[in-house]
Every structure is written in C-alpha cells, then in structure tokens.
Amino acid sequence: MLTLTENAATAVKSIVSQLPQPGEGGLRIRDTGTPDTGFELAVVPTPEPADQVVEAEGARVFLDEGAGVALGDRVLDAQIAEDGGVRFALAAQA
C-alpha cells in the first residue's frame, strides 16, 4: 500500500485545508492510463466509491484502481518551496 512521508502528509493537509469544507477531503491520484501523462492529481471533497483511501498523520490520499495497483509499493514524498509551491515525488519502499 502507498505510504506517505511526514512531508507529504503535511503538504496534503495544507492543500486540502484550502477546500471550502475540508472535513472528508483529500488528494486524489488517478492513473491516466498512458505512460506519457502518468498520474493526475486533484483535491477533492470526498473519495470516489471505488477509491482506495490511504490515511497518514491526518492526511487523506485517494487512489483510483489503476493508481492503487501502480503505487502499491511506493512512498509519496513532498518538497514545499519557500513560495508555498509543492512538488511531489515517488520512491520505492525500503
């Protein structure tokens, strides 16, 4: 199952907190189905019915079926820039 670093959890919580009603919201990762575009990220108020829900340190990430399979053995990390921009990265789990 996808895991999140502390930085990724902090970044996801920060992004989701900007939703009008962030209560059940999270970052949704969708497999686009093509190697050229990879994954699509979106901040959403709730998961889709078939989404896998990953929770870490209060952060919620929703994975569609394709993303759940592709990212099952990965770690999501994030770097937060001084201007508030976020860059996510994936690594293999140790």
Q: What is the mean pLDDT of residues 4-29?
A: 90
In the chain, count H helices and then E strands.
2, 7
Into how many domains does the chain fold?
1
pLDDT of residue 94: 80
Q: How many residues make up the chain in this entry?
A: 94
The β-bridge partners of 88 are 78
Among 24, 29, 26, 20, residue whose Cα is nearest residue 1? 29
CB-based contacts of 88: which residues, under 8 Å, 6+ apart? 8, 11, 41, 76, 77, 78
Please write the tens of the pLDDT for every residue from 58-74.
Answer: 999 999 999 999 999 99
pLDDT band, residue 45 (cuts 50/70/90): very high
Q: Which residue range(s) make up the domain with 88?
A: 3-92
- β-pairing, 52-56 with 3-4? unpaired
pLDDT surpasses 80 at 36: no
CATH of the domain at 74: 2.60.300.12
